[in-house]
Amino acid sequence: MSISINHVSYVYDSETELKWKALDDINVAITKFKMTAIIGKTGCGKTTLMQHLNALLKPTSGEVIIDDFVLTKTSKHHTLKPLRKKVGLVFQFSESQLFEETVFKDIAFGPKNYGATDEETAIKVHQAMQLVGLDESYIHRSCFQLSGGEKRRVAIAGILALDPEILILDEPTAGLDPQGSIEMMQLLLNLKNHHNKTIIVVTHDNDLVYTYFDDVILMDQGKVIAQNNVLDFFEDNQAVVLPQVIQFKQLLLKKGVHISKYARTIKEVLEEIKNDRIR
């Protein structure tokens, strides 16, 4: 079972003179049960690509294969429901899409829509709130009284309440402070490590990518130009904005201190230095 994108191109406004090829013959395989980052400059096609993974967009040509589901230009609307259930998509600034009066109602919207009973819905809402770290005291609060970070958690809980196997998030740390970003990463790591979720994240933050992710896909002008595991990716792609930890390791190297590629946080770098001293 796998996720693969084969020769996918996507043209916006294909019927008009404005037509614009946002994806250009993309070929990429994404490993399940890992955390994969999609990075690249603004406008390179990251959001367009992720919207293909739950059929919000259908490829102009090529195919998206997710387990036994094959999405092509001709896929019929009524066949998409199983895919939409399997793949949960969290939009950028998802908190702006909350619309129900209370946290409970907002998270309950999805399961109800999929036909869950009141009892099943209540269980799903509680489970989803737990997964995003919102305690019971939030349940009847108004979404509009929450902080930005809390609202974003409610929006993610709304998707998790549908129990997707694959969770895709577009810039989930945009606008969060550093502590909020770390908490978001820990939330996603927990979903991967303890709840068997496959996590795919569009992000601009290479520091977070280096510390928390398994794999990286680099896009440029509608194409995938590199894909690798995080450690090898940043060794091979020195042209991207390097994570601060790597910059620190390069400074240390100039001073004659070699740190292995496995140290992915400042703490791990310092531990290697300490262990070397002891040895």
Binding site for ligand ADP (CB under 6 A): 12-13, 20, 22, 40, 42-48
Angle at 172 between CA 34 and CA 262, to 5 degrees: 45
Closest separation in Å from C-beta 171 to Mg ion: 7
Binding at 42: pick from Mg ion, ligand ADP, none (beta carbon under 5-8 Å per type): ligand ADP
**Cβ proximity to Mg ion, 69 vs 175, nearer residue:** 175
Evaluate whether 151 touches 95 at the Cβ level (below 8 Å).
Answer: yes
Task: Put the strands of the sheet holding 87-90 in their side by side order.
Answer: 87-90, 166-170, 198-202, 35-39, 215-220, 223-229
Helices 118-131 and 178-195: angle between axes, nearest 10 degrees: 120
Closest separation in Å from C-beta 91 to Mg ion: 10
Closest separation in Å from C-beta 126 to Mg ion: 32
32 class by beta-carbon count within 10 Å (0-12 exposed, 13-18 middle, 19+ buried): middle
**Cβ proximity to Mg ion, 47 vs 54, nearer residue:** 47
Amino acid at 242: L
**Cβ proximity to ligand ADP, 95 vs 170, nearer residue:** 170
Evaluate whether 36 touches 30 at the Cβ level (below 8 Å).
Answer: yes
Q: Which of helix, strand or coil describes residue 250?
A: helix
The Cα–Cα gap between 121 and 125 comes to: 6
Q: Which two tokens stand for residue 13?
A: 């406004």
Binding at 12: pick from ligand ADP, Mg ion, none (beta carbon under 5-8 Å per type): ligand ADP
The Cα–Cα gap between 264 and 20 comes to: 39
**Cβ proximity to ligand ADP, 40 vs 158, nearer residue:** 40
**Cβ proximity to Mg ion, 219 vs 246, nearer residue:** 219
**Binding region for Mg ion (CB under 5 A):** 47
Binding at 178: pick from Mg ion, ligand ADP, none (beta carbon under 5-8 Å per type): none
Binding at 8: pick from ligand ADP, Mg ion, none (beta carbon under 5-8 Å per type): none
Nearest to 202 by CA among 187, 191, 186, 218: 218
- The residue number with the shortest CB distance to Mg ion is 47
Closest separation in Å from C-beta 182 to ligand ADP: 23
**Cβ proximity to ligand ADP, 38 vs 146, nearer residue:** 38
Evaluate whether 188 touches 36 at the Cβ level (below 8 Å).
Answer: no
**Cβ proximity to Mg ion, 23 vs 143, nearer residue:** 23
Binding at 43: pick from ligand ADP, Mg ion, none (beta carbon under 5-8 Å per type): ligand ADP
Closest separation in Å from C-beta 56 to ligand ADP: 11
Binding at 184: pick from ligand ADP, Mg ion, none (beta carbon under 5-8 Å per type): none
